[in-house]
Chains A and B, each alone.
Chain A
Amino acid sequence: QSVLTQPPSVSEAPRQRVTISCSGSSSNIGNNAVNWYQQLPGKAPKLLIYYDDLLPSGVSDRFSGSKSGTSASLAISGLQSEDEADYYCAAWDDRLNGVVFGGGTKLTVL
């Protein structure tokens, strides 16, 4: 049971837009920045979004993040087949003095 809650899977057609939700609590998302990681099959996770809505250098602007209260969302527009991956939200947790992750969402591009 992960501390942050994500849908296990989402799917959408190419060139469409999809959003992935992430729900937490006041000790994590409510009080700390949310980050998103993309994990391609067989690869290490890669930073996708940090500080709720910032894109690291080299990440496509088709990806965007937002946060409100104790929930956050990742949006991917103009879906491409190479976006098929697992996506994880994460945030620092003040009670645990560590990082908490969502359970991950598997994106399928139909």
Chain B
Amino acid sequence: EVQLVETGGGLIQPGGSLRLSCAASGFTVSSNYMSWVRQAPGKGLEWVSVIYSGGSTYYADSVKGRFTISRDNSKNTLYLQMNSLRAEDTAVYYCARLEGFIRYYYFDYWGQGTLVTVSS
């Protein structure tokens, strides 16, 4: 059974750093495209970042230069390193598996989410 479990959220001051983890089971993270998607309180879904199976990474403009997506193949875990955090980064962060192929991608599995609150 496929499972994604995010951890690492919490309260952090503006300008601070936080690393989110997403432990996967039932499939191999490194063989799949994996993403982070966030949802600010009372708002819609916002794609944050993706890492391809080959290792290429892409980011939304809102986090480019501040966030880094990575994975640890030995731990079958996805990460999101978040630096220079701002109040507008406050959100529930979901990791999700991106299935499919070119022009036909979709998120088939999602984690339960972890809340990041950026506030002084």
- Residues of chain A whose beta carbon lies under 8 Å from any beta carbon of chain B: 2, 31-33, 35, 37, 39, 44-47, 50-51, 56, 86, 88, 90, 92, 96-104
Check B100 for interface membership: any CB of A closer than 8 A: yes
Known A33-B106, A44-B111, A90-B45; further 14 A-B contacts with Cβ < 8 A: A33-B104, A35-B106, A35-B107, A44-B113, A51-B100, A90-B106, A96-B58, A96-B60, A98-B50, A98-B58, A99-B35, A99-B105, A101-B44, A101-B46
- Supposing A44-B112, A44-B113 touch, asked if A50 and B44 sit within 8 A by C-beta, the answer is no
Interface residues of B in 32-55 (CB under 8 A from A): 35, 37, 44-47, 49-50
- Supposing A97-B58, A98-B60 touch, asked if A45 and B103 sit within 8 A by C-beta, the answer is no
Contacts of B103 in A (CB 8 A): 31-33, 92
- Is the CB–CB distance between B44 and A44 below 8 Å? no
